[in-house]
Chains A and B, each alone.
Chain A
Amino acid sequence: MTSHTTAPGVRIRDLTVVYKTPAGELPAVRGVDLTLAPGTITGVVGESGSGKSTLAFSLLNAVQPPGRIAAGSVEIDGLGDVLTLRGEDLRRTRGRQVGYVFQAAQNSLNPLKTIGKQLLDLGRSHDVEDLRGLVRDAKDLLARMGMDGARVLDSYQHELSGGMRQRVGIMLALVLNAKVVVLDEPTTALDMITQATILRIIREVHEERALTTLVITHDVGAVAEVADSLAVMYGGRVVEHGPVAEVLGDARHPYTQGLIRAIPRLSGDLSLARALPGRPPTLGTLPKQGCVFRERCERRMEVCETDEPMSVNRDGRTVACHATDRHLTLVKRKEFV
């Protein structure tokens, strides 16, 4: 496979993932539709309990008990529905077709083996015949990210800084030429300057290798810097999705609006910034019916108590909100008058 092959598209449809709890099976992700356009970076932003990491695991069909994928499909071009893959097929897909950088990748390396040994293990487990070629590719990737490849491969993880380990994680996710890459909190716990460097590297490597990339994070800023489109998750739902500059510049869902208002910024009026009232729901406190955000919403209406808002797609943007829906419809009608 060369790096010139076209990037695959990913279509997540009606995905529901439940977790077994003493109170029964509760949905961490519910009815999520999300399309990753080929060759783009999609950012998924959410707070604790939003279901964003569960969504990432679903892309690899790697949800662990007590979790279970209860419904839906994840179609990847050239692979089909990964949720139907089992056993050996699934294992080969992971790493080969779908690369993954785990949350806190800097802590997920084996402390007893050098990075080079772990690279060879990865190659053997995927039946790579040309291990020398693999090492060469790894060195190239590391050099690409500003590191001395040979030295890094001879190192143990404790000999590397947090930012270096993060780049090693990215290298391991890409070295088998995966075309779909999932990065879960790639810059958490990194310093600001290191974060900016890693984000730039992600963007550059994404473009050079024609990837389809999903970045999962709690940090709107990190996504704003790197992504093409932005999906906002809350209480297991995607409440808003669209091109990143449009979603940030003209947020339509009240949660997105509140979240943006709550980001500490370097410029702008301090008196306009405020925290969202209430707190994010957990699996146990998710309302059984109606809108998941209504408890904290300043625009809540009667219908929000009973009916879950549907995702409505307009001008390439998706929003799931009764209030927004009505507002936009009214605006549209006025245009026709």
Chain B
Amino acid sequence: MITGTGITKIFKQRGGVLGAREVPALRGVDFAVAKGGAVSFIGESGSGKTTLGRIIAGLETHDAGEIVIDGVPMSSLSHRKRQPYFRRVQLIHQDPYSALNPTRTIHQTLEAPLRLRARQTGRPRSWVDGRAAELLAMVGIDPGYVLPRYPHQLSGGMRQRVVIARALTMDPEVLVADEAVSMIDVSLRLGILALLKDLRERLGVGVLFITHDIATARYIGDDGELYVLYRGQVVERGATEKIIADPVHPYTQSLLSAIPVLHGLERPGAERVVPREMQREGEPDGGCLFARRCPFSTERCESEMPVLGRDGGTEQEHACFHPRRRSVIPVGVGE
């Protein structure tokens, strides 16, 4: 179990005509990833979703808040003592082309972390090769074919599976998958998503799934939880299926409305929401962060910042003064 409370990150930009500027990337985010659970973070660029993934994986520091891994608050440990904990969180990133060392065979790539793992767990050296083959089989590729090869000899889909196998060498509790399918060919994406779902079920590994494509979040498990991030704030949170079917925050509704409609198979939702403006950099805070772009904002939204809650008796949590269900997602032609 990994939990975070009040995770806050401020980036300080230097220089420029305005001098130093502070940009909040995360504004007090709370989350929890249970054993075998699936938690998805959805947002556009600048939402803070990648920063959050890096903080959870121990690759980035945060300015306030606490990460707790297996009941141990990370702030209570020295940098060194934290490392074994953060090793239980493995990051899979977007680009399977740059994630693997091009001068090493897949066998070499898996061997190094497995040797470390063997030492840590008191297993003999002979365990390493068998485990490498086992992990590759687990991610759905033929070890005999892949082990002697170099990354450039493999397709993008296969490479991403190798990256996942390498992450599994550390017996992680949580996999952080940051846009893990966005560079994979469309016909193969569901295969990677199904693999993540399968690993949850078979190994009890939790998946923290970070994406801008909200539709992909459905495919890592229908029991998943969804967090919608906007400019570092969680604006809607609840069961993935619930939020996709019945979003109440206008930002979530805008994201869902932006997903292309497969004409011929689907009809557009009746109440698609289009933001009034595009996102701008360096927008001032004060009031609801989405107010300026929101088609439904009122005076109150301009001056007061809404906090996450269930105002209006909604099933999911949201940060909006005027939550309202709108049918924004496409409907199947036959339905």
Contacts and interface: CB of A to CB of B under 8 A. Distances in A.
Interface of A: 47-48, 146, 161-163, 191-197, 199, 218-222, 224-225, 244-250, 258-260, 262-268, 270, 273-276, 279-280
Contact of A161 (B191, B262, B281, B332): B281
B99 interface: no
B58 interface: no
A224 B332 contact: no
A220 B155 CA distance: 21
B185 A194 contact: no
Given A246-B264, A264-B219, A275 B187 contact: yes
Contact of A276 (B188, B219, B258, B279): B188
Contacts of A194: 44, 278-279
Contacts of B335: 267
Contact of A279 (B188, B189, B260, B263): B188
A263 B261 CA distance: 12
Nearest to A199: B260
A221 B155 contact: no
A245 B335 CA distance: 17
14 contacts: A192-B213, A193-B255, A193-B278, A196-B260, A219-B260, A221-B259, A248-B262, A259-B187, A260-B265, A264-B189, A266-B218, A266-B256, A267-B266, A273-B219
A275 B189 contact: yes
Residue of B187, B261, B332 with most partner-chain A CB within 10 A: B187
A264 B215 contact: yes
Given A221-B262, A245-B263, A270-B222, A47 B193 contact: no
Those 5 A-B pairs whose CB atoms lie nearest each other, nearest first:
A249-B264, A221-B260, A275-B191, A245-B264, A248-B264
Given A192-B212, A193-B258, A267-B332, A262 B264 contact: no
Given A193-B275, A260-B265, 9 more contacts: A192-B255, A193-B255, A194-B44, A250-B264, A259-B186, A264-B189, A266-B330, A279-B157, A279-B188
A231 B216 CA distance: 25
B258 A275 contact: no
B288 interface: no
Given A191-B44, A194-B278, A262 B186 contact: yes
A319 B265 CA distance: 19
Contacts of B329: 266-267
Interface string B214-227: 11101100100000
Contacts of B259: 192, 221, 266
A244 B263 contact: yes
Contacts of B212: 191-192
Contacts of B255: 192-193
Contacts of A246: 264
Nearest to B328: A266
A267 B244 CA distance: 9
Contact of B185 (A197, A218, A260): A218
A302 to B, nearest CB: 25
A192 B258 contact: yes
